[in-house]
Amino acid sequence: MRRHYLIYPIIIFLLLTTVGCSGNSLTRNEDEKNIELTISAAASLQDALNDIKARFENENPNIKINYNFGSSGSLQQQIVQGAQVDLFFSADRDKFHQLVDEGFIDEKNQIDLLGNEIVLVIPIDSDSHIETFGDLIKAERISIGIPESVPAGQYAKEVLKNLNLWNFIEGKMVYAKDVRQVLTYVKTNNVDAGIVYQTDALISENIKVVATAKENTHSTIIYPLGLLKDTPNSEEAQLFYEFLTNDDSIKIFKKYGFKDVK
């Protein structure tokens, strides 16, 4: 009988220890699964980033990626006004570096990562005979992004000014909140032509690229990426930052028409 009295306490101790360890393990795993990162990114990056997201989450099941897509100017203002963001992937280098100068983005964790081109697109069934930027004189309606907040719109305006076209066609402009809206206007024949990034044109149906702007007609197109200083998830954000800049991710960006400039 004495042996039984000795064995029972030992069994109970072992059970409690096992349950305690399991509880700690479950808590740790639950905490890991609840980690979410918010990435504010230019709308033109949407398709490539969704591709990369699937690969990253497959390799890091404890981290969930949430994207906030929009025009770079609007995203920058959201950050200035206090939006909780872990990484900012901009299509506007000037607005990005304003955040660096103002202390929002970590100088040690930022990089000029990608490049792009500006193209002229028309509806695929168009009979407008628009084949060059100069032919925009013939158009009744032309769409570009709002130059003050949409980098693609800013570059488009630069192209048209450098080609001495802006003063003649400014009154024909239909401004859009981002490049995707420009493409929608073109695809639905609400405008005769639009000016967008090459990457957006490549993945769009029912449009046709008719001309590519020469590099000397606009500022160099750069997409900078940076880590926000006040991110509460610095370790996980750093991990995704490094994932976005690795060779495999660069190959994905190239597949969608971006240039590697790092």
Same-domain check for residues 174 and 138: yes
Residue 23 in domain? no
Distances (CA, A) of 212 to 15, 92, 117: 71, 20, 7
| Residues 127 and 204 reside in one and the same domain | yes
Q: 108, exposed or middle or buried, with CB in 10 Å at 0-12, 13-18, 19+?
A: exposed
Q: How far apart are CA 212 and CA 198, in angstroms?
A: 8
Residues 184 and 199 grouped into a single domain: yes
Q: What pLDDT, on a 0 to 100 scale, did the predictor assign at position 33?
A: 56
* 169 in the same domain as 139: yes
Boundary residue ending a domain (185, 200, 217): 217
CA–CA dist 258, 262 (Å, integer): 12
- H or E stretch including 77? helix 72-80
Residues 93 and 141 in one domain: no
- Whose structure tokens read 């193209």? 119
Do 134 and 211 share a domain, yes or no? yes
Task: Note the pLDDT of residue 64.
Answer: 97
For residue 226, what are its two tokens? 């940076």
3-class SS of residue 230:
coil
pLDDT of residue 163: 98
Predicted confidence pLDDT, tens digits, the chain (262 residues): 444 444 544 444 444 444 444 444 333 444 455 799 999 999 889 999 999 999 999 999 999 999 999 989 899 999 999 999 999 999 999 999 999 999 999 889 999 999 999 999 999 999 989 999 999 999 999 999 999 989 999 999 999 999 999 999 999 999 999 888 999 999 999 999 999 999 999 989 999 999 999 999 999 999 999 999 999 999 999 999 999 999 999 999 999 999 999 7
CB count in 10 Å sphere of residue 75: 27
Classify residue 43: in a domain, yes or no: yes
Distance CA 225, CA 247 (A): 15
Percent helix, percent strand, percent coil in the chain, to nearest 5:
50, 25, 25
What is the tally of structural domains in the chain? 2
63 within some domain:
yes
- Residue 6's pLDDT is 47
Does 15 reside within a domain?
no
In-domain check, residue 162? yes
pLDDT at 71: 87
Sort 39 into a burial class: Cβ within 10 Å, 0-12 / 13-18 / 19+: buried
Examine residue 7 and state whether it is found in any structural domain, yes or no.
no
Residues 60 and 130 in one domain: no
Q: Are residues 101 and 165 in the same domain?
A: no
- Tell me, yes or no, whether 228 and 102 share the same domain: yes
With respect to residue 12, please indicate whether it lies within any of the assigned structural domains. no
Give the pLDDT score at 20: 47
Residues 105 and 138 in one domain: no
Q: Are residues 144 and 233 in the same domain?
A: no
19, part of any domain: no
The answer to whether residues 156 and 207 belong to one domain is yes
Give me the domain span that covers residue 138.
Answer: 118-217
- Bridge-based pairing state of the strands 173-176 and 142-145: parallel
CATH of the domain at 104: 3.40.190.10
Residue 261 tokens, joined: 């400039």
